[in-house]
Amino acid sequence: MLSLPKAAEPLVSPFSIAFTRPTFQRFICLCVGFIITRGRRTITQTLRTLHALATGHFSDFHRVLSRAPWSLWPLGKALAAMVLELLPDGPVTCTVDDSTTQHRGKHVYAKARHRDNVRSTSTHKVWLWGHRWVVLAINVKFSFATRPWALPVLVALYKSRDLNSAEGRQHRTPIAIARILMTRLLRWFPQRKFILLGDGGYASHDLARFCHQHRRQLTLVSLLHPRAHLCQPPPPPARGKRGRRRVRGDKLPHPQDVVAKAQQRKKTVKRKVDWYSGKRRRVEYVTGTGHWYKATEGLVPIRWVFVHDRDGKSQDRYFYSTDPGLTAERIIALYTARWPIEVTFQECKQRLGLGSPRNRSAASVTRTVPCLLGLFSVVSVMYHRQLKGRPPRPRSEPWYTKAEPSFSDALASVRRVLWEQTIFSQVTGHEALNQLKPKIRNMLLDELSIAA
């Protein structure tokens, strides 16, 4: 087994609960290879990078993802526990979103046509053939960064209706999958409170009702339709009156109508609030409360907020929260805090080769992408522990200065440690590296760490 750095052993050892000892050794070898490999993160490319360090037949490493009997749930629980240790007691901000990866081939498991959110616009849709992944991430505010980082902890594959029907399985929408992932997190950590952030794809009454049912532990902040059906709570039953009790009270005006009247009467509130990228923005907002109603699903008490950017750089939006006690400024700050997950998707595709593996079997397809997204969280936590409170030194040049480190700096720092304490320590003749002058030795390790 590869001798991991001392700083990485406490982070890696909890994951051994999901594997047998031989499988865990090969799994760790693949994870190290995924971190230091250049280009695509295929098994063959990873073994080519590790070369003699990957002892055993090459098919043994392929079977780790395709045939070995292990589950992703224990890994997700261990990863979530590791991330939650970084957060103090109090509400934990989680973000749910989905990302698509292109995967061509006639015999790829669960391949379907999905909308590409990156290249599509409001007037033009771009479709791709591949997979759609529902990701639940926890926002962590590191001391070396001004904005939170979204660390993925649970990932699930969305399967098309045709595939579920062919396999005799109940079809689950992305919202239903997000509900399952959040249920796991609530059961694993019943002592923690969570705030779930979702974009328009997760602004459903179903998810809001689920969060209202678990309101002691969970709150949802998402987008709201301007003409949402709001009403008052049902009145108490009249004494002596027979018949079925009322399900809802009197109808309230749509949020859009309330905003139009407030703007005519100039009753909008003008404040500076927390905005995207950790900045503050001048906005006008109108807020109100009500019970969101949908037939056969009941009522959900919410507070809604209409936001107008006074600088004219963002579109007008309607937000809502299943906790009516939250202030309008707090709801705006929470929703804009969901943007780091978009940065996480971009960094994983550029730095960790997300979407580059070419698996075909069911087990390997459903395992590879969650492992790559989990590596983003592990690398981020390792970098945080390497700093130990020291000020970071992001890689910069005279013509390009960086105020704070990004994930590329975190990955380079972890790669440097792996090259120095794992790769070279197990290669015959590595003593020659220590005989080099410190300046040349550090330059060599720095150039190896940024290779990607």
pLDDT, one tens digit per residue, over 219-259 is 999 999 999 999 999 888 777 777 778 889 999 999 999 99
For residue 403, what pLDDT is reported?
A: 81
Per-residue pLDDT of 89-109, as tens digits, reads 899 999 999 999 998 888 999
Gap between the Cα atoms of 189 and 428, Å rounded: 46
Q: Is the separation of the CB atoms in 118 and 99 below 8 Å?
A: no
For residue 152, what pLDDT is reported?
A: 98
251-285 CB burial, b ≥16 within 10 A, e <16: ebebbeebbeebeeeeebeeeebbbbeeeebebbb
Say which DSSP state 265 is in.
T
pLDDT of 284 > 80? The answer is yes
Q: Is the separation of the CB atoms in 94 and 196 below 8 Å?
A: yes
Give strand ranges (E) for 58-126: 92-102, 112-115
Q: Is the separation of the CB atoms in 155 and 110 below 8 Å?
A: no
* R_g of the chain, CA atoms, integer Å: 25
Lowest mean pLDDT among 118-127, 219-228, 325-334: 118-127
Nearest to 360 by CA among 42, 29, 22: 42
HSE-CB of 337 using CA atoms within 13 angstroms: 26
Hey, which residues does 103 pair with through a beta bridge?
none
Per-residue pLDDT of 21-37, as tens digits, reads 999 999 999 998 898 88
Q: What length does the chain have?
A: 452
**357-364: average pLDDT:** 91
Domain ranges in the chain are 73-233+248-345
Say which DSSP state 357 is in.
-
**313-319: average pLDDT:** 92
For residue 63, what pLDDT is reported?
A: 94
Structure tokens at 255: 């949020």
Nearest to 173 by CA among 214, 149, 222, 206: 206
pLDDT of 137 > 70? The answer is yes
Taken in order 111, 113, 116, 117, is the CA torsion positive or negative? negative
pTM: 0.91
Nearest to 364 by CA among 114, 63, 58: 63
Q: Round the average pLDDT of the chain to a whole number and report it.
A: 89
Per-residue pLDDT of 161-191, as tens digits, reads 999 999 999 999 999 999 999 999 999 999 9
Q: What number of H helices and E strands is found in the chain?
A: 15, 11
The helix (run of H) or strand (run of E) holding residue 163 is helix 161-166
Q: Which residues contact 354 (CB under 8 A, 6 or more apart)?
A: 99, 101, 345, 348, 369, 372, 373
pLDDT of 313 > 70? The answer is yes
pLDDT of 429 > 60? The answer is no
Gap between the Cα atoms of 94 and 182, Å rounded: 9
Domain 73-233+248-345 indexed as CATH 3.90.350.10: yes
Comparison of pLDDT for 4 and 429, the residue scoring more: 4
Gap between the Cα atoms of 381 and 153, Å rounded: 12
